[in-house]
Each structure stands twice: as structure tokens, then as C-alpha cells.
Structure 1
Amino acid sequence: MKDFNKYTSHINFSPVIDFTIQQGKSVNYKKGEYFVRQGEICKTLGFVSSGSFRYCCINSLGEMNIVGYTFEGSFVGNYPAVQLQDKSNVDIQALCDCTVYELTHQQVNEFYEANAEHQRLGRHIAETLLWEVYDRMISMYSLTPEERYLEILNRCPGLLKLITLKELASYLLIRPETLSRIRKRVVRKQ
């Protein structure tokens, strides 16, 4: 699911991927296990060599909301919390059995401090993550739920093979019933 997180197409991650695979620790996660729990200190970032994860947060009513996903061939973790050595504001949970090459905060910083090119890459990663979050926030205000649904399916046509409709509705910030009506409308238009 290469295009789910837009930032992955804006950066050449190969230097950090190579470093992570060479220096990282290979860790296996079973379906349902957590990479990190909401409220825990974030200690690692990882490169997902197989599998996928969902990012969730619990709201004040105790309801779980899906805020993101990461898939094979991309990174997993709460990047700002790891860099600040702070608590995670999300749960990151394995959707299936996964293998991840993990780096500690110290290893990430050693990579960045190795040379100026790595420092620029780190800055570019942070800037691009900020852009993606901002872009998603703006789309919540500027696009209708149907437009957001169509945009994500156009960008990631195989997404519904990996996640449930209920999860997609949560990610789009709509109720499952609303997504069902949208899907019916879209089918009628085709």
C-alpha cells in the first residue's frame, strides 16, 4: 500500500532504510500486539519489512478512533514522540503478523549526526510529515466525506482488502452508516 501515506513518495528513504535494516533489531509482532500503547514513552521507530499497523486513539468517551495506518515497506512509530522521548498519543497495533526492523532514539540520532546529508534528510522527513498532517487536516474541512472516500480509494485501490469498512469510516471521521450510504451513492453513479 505504497501510496497510503503520501509522504513516502516525497522522500528518498533508501539511506535510512539501509541503515535501519543493517543496524536495527528484527522484531516480530503477532496480530493484535502493540508496537506502542497510548500513554507509554516511545522508545523505537521501525521499518516494516512485512505486515501492517493501525494507529488509534481513544477519545474522551472511551471510543477507539483510527487515525492512520502504515504498511509493508514503510516506517512505523510515533516519530515526534520518539524524537522528544515523550509519551505516545496513539496506540500502534499490528493488523496481522509483522516483522519490523527497530531503531532506538539514540540510533536514529546517530544516523542523523553522521553527516550533513543525513541531517538534511532528517529535516526533510520532519517537514514532510508536518505537511502530510496539515494536508489531512485541511481535507477534513475542504472535502466532503464522499470526496475523502473517493480520494483515498483512488490513491489506494486495494485498501479495502487490508482494512474493514468500519475502520475506514473511523479514519474518514464518519459513521459506518454514512460510509454505507456513500458507497451506495457511488455505485449508483457508476
Structure 2
Amino acid sequence: MLLEKLLEEFDVDPNTFSSEESKLFDQYFEQISVRKNTFLIKEGETEKYSYFVFEGLLRCWIINHKGDEQTFWFCKKGTFSLSNISFTLQEKSAFNVQTIVDSVIYRIDKNKAAELYSAIPRLKTVFDDLTAILLNKILNRNIDLIKYSPEQYYLRMIDEYGVTLNYIPLKDIASYLGITPQALSRIRKRIF
């Protein structure tokens, strides 16, 4: 069940919604299979769907001032894609969202989302809280980049992502840490 998986990822009491509401939630989403390296959205596009990552992994990235791809976020299973910012605001996306591995994703369009909020009115309040939690995670990432060395931050990533980290290309991890792949290689040699 999608809703239960989402609530679990954000440490929200799974009994917040009844089993009937959870089943109803799932009915509003369309399941799609997405191949590795597929763009869900490209910079400059306006998102038509809200995506929930059921299985798989996404990366959010931009081209930085040097002309290199800069990864700044990973959307793991049990979370929504950051392209939801463009979806919610109906503004052009400032970044790209791309699958890292073959993924199973559920999506919902604006009309279905409005119907879903009408069908389960409490959902809007809970989603507002989840959005605040996500914003706090993004803020903490920015603080952690200042607070920790790349090695310390990489160790924190190992704790957070577990085995999922094995599926992320090293160049993307290095980019996320703001270091070169060679520097990441040296860190990995020291740790392992």
C-alpha cells in the first residue's frame, strides 16, 4: 500500500488512516515502470504528475556554473519525487529528475489529486506536515554540508541509505558530496 509506505518513510503513525482510506488512496494512482536513466522531468518543464517512488531511486540534478552535472538530492523508495515542487506550484522546474535504476513509480495528475483530497480530507493536513518534514531534511542537508567533512557526510549517507547506496553511481555520490570521484575513492579506501 502506497500510503503506508509513505507514512513509514516519514515515521508517521500508520494508524493515521484507516485501511479503507489506504486502499482508496492507492486507487487514485497509476503505476508505471520506468527504465534506468529516464527523465521524469527536465529543467524548464512544468510537471504534470506527482510521482511516488515505490521501488527504485531517482536523482535530482542541475548543470552547475562549471558546466558539470551536480547532483543535489536522491529520492529513494517510499518518497515522492522532488519534481512535486513544479507539480504543486505549476511552475517550470529549476532542475532535472532522472531514474538511477529501473523503477516502479506511481503517479497522479492534478485532477485526480484534487479528487483524492476531497475523498480523504485529512490527507491535505498530513501532506502539509510531510512537506514540512521534507523541507527540514533539505535544510539539514545544507547545514550538514557546512558542518561535516565529505568523509563524515559520506558515513552519514551510508547510515541513511544502507544498501541502496550501492546502486548509486560513485560519480553521483561524489557530486552530491561536492567532491571529485577521485576524492571519494580515497575516502572509500580509508573507510573500507
Deviation at 1:38, TM superposition (A): 1.1
Asked if 2 retains the 8 angstrom alpha-carbon contact of 1:49 and 1:101, the reply is yes
1:155 alignment partner in structure 2: 160
Deviation at 1:116, TM superposition (A): 4.7
Q: Which runs of 5+ in 1 are unaligned?
A: 1-6
The answer to whether residue 127 in structure 2 is matched with residue 126 in structure 1 is: no
CA RMSD across the alignment: 2.4
Q: Deviations over 1:51-100 (max 9, x none)?
A: 22221111133211111222333322422221110111221112232222
Taking the aligned partners of 2:59 and 2:10, their CA distance within structure 1 comes to 20
- Amino acid in the other structure paired with 1:171: Y
The structure-2 alpha-carbon separation of the partners of 1:48 and 1:18, relative to structure 1 and needing over 3 Å to count, comes to: farther
The answer to whether residue 10 in structure 2 is matched with residue 9 in structure 1 is: yes
Equivalent residue runs for 1:37-56 within 5 Å: 37-56=42-61
Pairing partner for 1:89 from 74, 91, 94: 94
Q: Structure 1 length as normaliser, TM-score? A: 0.82
Pairs aligned (count)? 181
**Structure with more contact order per residue of length (Cα contacts < 8 Å, sep ≥ 6):** 1
Taking the aligned partners of 1:160 and 1:184, their CA distance within structure 2 comes to 16
Pairing partner for 2:169 from 151, 164, 169: 164
The alignment partner of 1:158 has SS state of helix
Higher deviation after alignment, 63-72 or 146-155: 63-72
Higher deviation after alignment, 66-75 or 163-172: 66-75
Q: Structure 2 length as normaliser, TM-score? A: 0.81
